[in-house]
Structures are given as structure tokens and as C-alpha cells.
């Protein structure tokens, strides 16, 4: 009689769903139509916008990002459409402003959408007998994931070294919180927590790097989807004008995940086994595909290294490692005379200085008594000659020439002429460490919430 222990074990049955291969002999009409539109729409979007800049690391001579849609022929078309089609009754911004949500960008997006729709209709009629686009999909899949990965690397590198949202500058520290714009609140709050910004940058860099390795592309698309979703929500809720790009990073992530949708649903929702992903070879030869793999990985390494190198360079010019003004600090004006007349510190006095702020070597800010935010000037400080010159950034006629003395490290006496008026000011250096935002830092133990 066979013992129970000797009976053969019965392996549990695991349901493994077959992979939804794009290399099936025939695609459904819906899949073919969707692919044509995605190919045209995402292809045009990448080529015409700043995503191409990230992919090619291309810049113009004026240090702006090169964008095909900003070239003179494209600019002329967009301006004409703005006036004659969209009936915008005022000139639109046709130069780089730092915003990705200008009228210009929305018109370009409308053109891309229209071209994609018209192109899809024509393509569907001309190529209606095509059964599938397996090979074209393989190549476009590589193009799409490298484009997404390159963009994530660009933005991630600007956060790994906290540059995109720097720690609040001196002028920001003395500005009332109520004057901040929603975007200013976001920038300053993240800038005041550099560890979080570094974490966000690492997450974006991770998603970007994973996109350059075919075997990790699905995981990379999931990471990029999470990153882009968070960025999009922040842009929408804090009015950051990069909404269009962030939304398209979400769409591109979803496109890359689309053909793995059944496998992902089985894994995450249906409690079923997921078959391996279908291969997406670019060539018939195994050797050629291996070479293509190496090229993609090396390209990703080069892009990551180039972006980090660029961030390091910026870090030492404009970031936390930047040089500071020889007169660095917030100088509170204790005594002020204009044209020989002593001016008391009245909040209604628009001529009396309240503060003189030196931060960057090439700039200085003057805050008058009736101002909550100072005016920024170009500054040239000569420590040896004990002089500095201020010049207006917008109005070049604004000019100030001053000499200064420092009886001590915390005292500054300034004499000179500003806009034709004689100025004499005695100032005291404000201790930056008195700002709670600067010194509070992180605490493992807090008996009570320190929320001020």
C-alpha cells in the first residue's frame, strides 16, 4: 500500500495568457488605424518640439533650445495662422520665453493634430490592403522610447543637481509670501527642500535610463508614466506653463505600454501569469540586433553623461556652486539721505531705500520703502577701488555710480549718484541664518508639529 507521502505531488495549474504580439500575421482594422495616427502624431510632436532638442542635445547660438517649429519658415506659418485662422487680435510671442504653453505652442499643437488626422485618413485609404505594420512599429517603438528617455534625462539631470528649483535667492527670502505666484510657491518650496528635488531627479533619470535598454523598456515606461503624471498634476495645480509637454510625456508613456497592456493587466489586476514580452527585432540578423542593442545603450550613456556634465557646468555658474557677489548679503538701510536731505523710514516713501541686496556677482537689487519686491539692476563691483556701478536691465538710462566703505564686516556706507540724485546710505548686514527657512532643517524627533 502506497503511503500518502509517496504519492506524486500535483502541481498547481497556472494560467499563463499568451503575449499580444505585434508580429501576428494580421492586425485588426482598429489597431492599424490607431498605429497610423500615433505614428504621425507622436512623430510630428517629437520632431517639431523641444523633445528633439533633448534627443539630439541641440542648442542654438543664443543658448536657447533648437526647435524645428521655431525656425523662420515655421514661425511665419504660425504667425499667419494666429492672425487669419485663430483670429488672435494681438501679436503672439514668437521667441523663447521659458513657457511651453504660449499661443504659439497651442497653434503648433493644432497643426500637428490636423496633419495627423488628415495624414491618417490618406494613409488608411492608400494603404488599406496592408495587414500589419510590424516592422515599422519596431523602428518607431525605438524612436519613441529613446525620445521619451532623452527628455526624462534632460529634466532629471536638472534636478539631480538642484538647479531647476534652486534654494530661494536672497530677494525671495525678503518678499512676502502673499506676493508669490502659484508657480513661485512651488519653485520656492521644492527649492527649499533640495533632498526632495534630488529624489525627483533620480526618479526621472531612472525612467530615462531604463528606456535605453530594450529589456527594461516596459519598466521604464511605467516609471516615466508615474514621473510625468506627478509633473503634470503639479503643472496643472500650480499653473506651471509646461502642461503641454508633461501631458504628451504621459501619452507617449501610454503608447509604449499599449502593446503590453494585456500582459500588464494579467499581472496587476487579473491575478494571472504573464507570458514574456514579444521580441521586437529591428533586423533579421542576430549580430545586427546585438549591435543595435549596444548602440542604444551607449547612446543612453552618452546622453545621461552629457546632461549631467551640462548640469555640473550650470551648477557652478548659476546653481548653489555659483560665485557670489563680493558684497553678498541683505543690507538693511538704517540711515538714508537723498540730495543731502535725510529721509526717515516711512512706508509711503517711494524714494528711500529699504534694502540693498547683493547675490549674484553681476546683479544687485534695491528695495524701496513702498515696495514689497525690489528692482534688479546690473552690477559691477570693484573691491579694490571700493566702488560699484548699477545699471537698469530694461532701461539703460538708469545708472548709479557709488563708492563704499566697510567699517566692519556687518556695516556698509554708500555714497554716490543714482539717476541724477545724490545718495548717502548707512547699512547693516542682515544675518541670513535668522531666516527660519534657512536654518530649521530636518528633525527625526519632533514633540509637536513645527508649522509656522
Q: Which residues pair with 39 in a beta bridge?
A: none
User: In this model, does residue 189 exceed pLDDT 60?
Assistant: yes
**Structure confidence at residue 25 as a pLDDT band (50, 70, 90):** low
Task: Identify the pLDDT of residue 46.
Answer: 97
Taking a C-beta distance cutoff of 8 angstroms, is the pair 200, 159 a contact?
yes
Task: Identify the pLDDT of residue 353.
Answer: 96
**Count of other CB atoms within 10 angstroms of residue 132:** 17
Tell me the C-alpha distance between 38 and 46, whole Å: 12
CA nearest neighbour of 172 among 331, 362, 330 = 330
DSSP category for residue 63: S
Task: Identify the pLDDT of residue 64.
Answer: 54
Buried b or exposed e, range 79-113, using 16+ CB within 10 angstroms: bebbeeeeeeeeebebebeeebbbbbbbbbbebbe
User: In this model, does residue 159 exceed pLDDT 90?
Assistant: yes
Query: Which residues of the chain form CATH 2.40.128.20?
Result: 329-436
pLDDT tens for each residue of 112-134: 999 999 999 999 999 999 999 99
Task: List the single range of 13-22, 253-262, 391-400 with lowest mean pLDDT.
Answer: 13-22
**Structure confidence at residue 22 as a pLDDT band (50, 70, 90):** low
Task: Identify the pLDDT of residue 218.
Answer: 94
**Structure confidence at residue 62 as a pLDDT band (50, 70, 90):** very low
CATH level 2 (architecture), domain 329-436: Beta Barrel (2.40)
User: In this model, does residue 6 exceed pLDDT 80?
Assistant: no
pLDDT tens for each residue of 316-356: 888 888 899 999 999 999 999 999 999 999 888 889 999 99
Amino acid at each position: 500500500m502506497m503511503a500518502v507521502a509517496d504519492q506524486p505531488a500535483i502541481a498547481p495549474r497556472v494560467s499563463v495568457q499568451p503575449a499580444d504580439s505585434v508580429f501576428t500575421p494580421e492586425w485588426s482594422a482598429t489597431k492599424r488605424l490607431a498605429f497610423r495616427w500615433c505614428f504621425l502624431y507622436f512623430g510630428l510632436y517629437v520632431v517639431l518640439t523641444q523633445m528633439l532638442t533633448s534627443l539630439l542635445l541641440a542648442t542654438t547660438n543664443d543658448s536657447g533650445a533648437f526647435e524645428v517649429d521655431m525656425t523662420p519658415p515655421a514661425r511665419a506659418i504660425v504667425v499667419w495662422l494666429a492672425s487669419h485662422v485663430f483670429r488672435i487680435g494681438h501679436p503672439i510671442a514668437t521667441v523663447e520665453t521659458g513657457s511651453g504653453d504660449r499661443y504659439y505652442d497651442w497653434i503648433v499643437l493644432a497643426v500637428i493634430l490636423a496633419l495627423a488626422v488628415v495624414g491618417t485618413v490618406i494613409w488608411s485609404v492608400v494603404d488599406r490592403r496592408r495587414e500589419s505594420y510590424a516592422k515599422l512599429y519596431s523602428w518607431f517603438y525605438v524612436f519613441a522610447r529613446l525620445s521619451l528617455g532623452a527628455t526624462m534625462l534632460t529634466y532629471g539631470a536638472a534636478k539631480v543637481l538642484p538647479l531647476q528649483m534652486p534654494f530661494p535667492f536672497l530677494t525671495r527670502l525678503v518678499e512676502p509670501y502673499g506676493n508669490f505666484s502659484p508657480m513661485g510657491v512651488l519653485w520656492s518650496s521644492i527649492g527649499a527642500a533640495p533632498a526632495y528635488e534630488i529624489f525627483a531627479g533620480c526618479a526621472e533619470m531612472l525612467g530615462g535610463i531604463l528606456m535605453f535598454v530594450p529589456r527594461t523598456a516596459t519598466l521604464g515606461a511605467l516609471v516615466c508614466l508615474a514621473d510625468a503624471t506627478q509633473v503634470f498634476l503639479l503643472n496643472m495645480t500650480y499653473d506651471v506653463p509646461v502642461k503641454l509637454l508633461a501631458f504628451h510625456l504621459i501619452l507617449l508613456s501610454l503608447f509604449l505600454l499599449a502593446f503590453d497592456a494585456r500582459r500588464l493587466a494579467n499581472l496587476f489586476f487579473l491575478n494571472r501569469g504573464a507570458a514574456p514580452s514579444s521580441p521586437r527585432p529591428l533586423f533579421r540578423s542576430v549580430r545586427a540586433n546585438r549591435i543595435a542593442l549596444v548602440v542604444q545603450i551607449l547612446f543612453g550613456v552618452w546622453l545621461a553623461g552629457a546632461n549631467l556634465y551640462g548640469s555640473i557646468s550650470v551648477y557652478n555658474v548659476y546653481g548653489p556652486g555659483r560665485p557670489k557677489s563680493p558684497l553678498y548679503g541683505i543690507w538693511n538701510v538704517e540711515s538714508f539721505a537723498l540730495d543731502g536731505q535725510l529721509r526717515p523710514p516711512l512706508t509711503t516713501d517711494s524714494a528711500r531705500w529699504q534694502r540693498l541686496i547683493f547675490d549674484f556677482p553681476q546683479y544687485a537689487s534695491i528695495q524701496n520703502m513702498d515696495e514689497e519686491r525690489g528692482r534688479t539692476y546690473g552690477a559691477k563691483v570693484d573691491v579694490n577701488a571700493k566702488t560699484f556701478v548699477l545699471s537698469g536691465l530694461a532701461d539703460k538710462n538708469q545708472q548709479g555710480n557709488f563708492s563704499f566703505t566697510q567699517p566692519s564686516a556687518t556695516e556698509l556706507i554708500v555714497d554716490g549718484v543714482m539717476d541724477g540724485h545724490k545718495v548717502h546710505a548707512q547699512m547693516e548686514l542682515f544675518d541670513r541664518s535668522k531666516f527660519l527657512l534657512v536654518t530649521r532643517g530636518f528633525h527625526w524627533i519632533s514633540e509637536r508639529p513645527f508649522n509656522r
